[in-house]
Amino acid sequence: MDKLEQVYEGKAKKVFKTDDPHYYIIEYKDEATAFDGKKKGIIQGKGTINNKVSAVFFELLEQKGIPTHFIKLLSPNEMLVKKVDIIPLEVIVRNYSAGSVSKRLGLEEGIKFDTPILEFSYKSDELGDPMVNDYHILALHLATKDEISTLTQQAFKINDILSSYLWEKNIILVDFKLEFGKTPEGDIVLADEISPDTCRFWDRTTMEKLDKDRFRRDMGNVEEAYIEVARRLGCL
Ligand code: TMP
Ligand code: ASP
């Protein structure tokens, strides 16, 4: 598969056309940002780890019946995916209080919710990815009612699958962010990435943070945390 011109460059990855119009190549970068791009840095080896970790999760989810954009790994930091149009919504699932929900609702971090929380944010760095509800989504034509219901059902299924898989690896899935895309045929599939950049992972025994919060909060041992996640998932 030939890598042709770049169609998109995001903060953590680049997307390229291929010689087949149905497929794109995603290249994951070591560059890291936080706070809508205001904080910048490099996490050595992140591109490779996020590529491989995402592949593990996408393969697991496909096996469990969740359609994704993933086709196969191409190199340490590249994967082949289906071409999709990204729905401009971040779909966030929270099992424990942390991050913005702790701030917004005045909750200390680490409280387990009796039922998971689902949030949607409108993907816009300029606006700081503002939280929106179903009514905003419908009024702004970001997704239809049926699509909202598909995103919701898929997000909760994904939460169940990933939470139990990670529990076995001694990791608590605190929260995570998903993005979905639409294929030219109109099917909604899970897209983007699932990695320590887009999830909060806490060690089940020590509650140590094994994710991008170490970068966001200048906690040190950032690379080590990413490597530890990859090691537990068997992709190093
Ligand atoms: P939050 O607590 O900052 O709202 O983050 C919730 C989850 O979403 C957390 O696992 C990190 C992830 N996330 C992203 O993937 N991208 C983002 O831009 C933000 C703010 C959070
Ligand atoms: N990826 C987001 C950004 O740069 C934020 C984050 O993950 O904290 O801005």
Report the nearest atom of ligand 1 relative to the CA of 213.
11
Global pTM reads 0.98
Per-residue model confidence as pLDDT tens digits over 47-74: 999 999 999 999 999 999 999 999 999 9
CA 129 to ligand 1 centroid distance, Å: 10
Query: Does 10 contact ligand 1 (Cβ within 6 A)?
Result: no
| Whole-angstrom distance, CA of residue 108 vs CA of residue 98 | 7
For ligand 2, atom 8, name the residue with the nearest CA: 34
* pLDDT score recorded for residue 1: 83
Q: Which domains are delineated in the chain?
A: 3-82 (3.30.200.20), 85-222 (3.30.470.20)
Report the nearest atom of ligand 2 relative to the CA of 216.
8
For ligand 2, atom 5, name the residue with the nearest CA: 34
Name every residue whose Cβ is closer than 8 Å to that of residue 54 and which is 6 or more positions away in sequence. Answer: 28, 70, 79, 193, 194, 195
Residue found under tokens 């080590």: 224
Per-residue model confidence as pLDDT tens digits over 69-107: 999 999 999 999 999 999 999 999 999 999 999 999 999
CA 216 to ligand 2 centroid distance, Å: 8
Q: pLDDT above 90 covers what percent of the chain?
A: 98
- C-alpha dihedral, 35 to 37 to 41 to 45, nearest 10°: 100
Q: Is the pLDDT of residue 158 over 90?
A: yes
Query: Does 130 contact ligand 2 (Cβ within 6 A)?
Result: no
Query: Does 198 contact ligand 1 (Cβ within 6 A)?
Result: yes
Per-residue model confidence as pLDDT tens digits over 120-146: 999 999 999 999 999 999 999 999 999
Q: pLDDT above 70 covers what percent of the chain?
A: 100
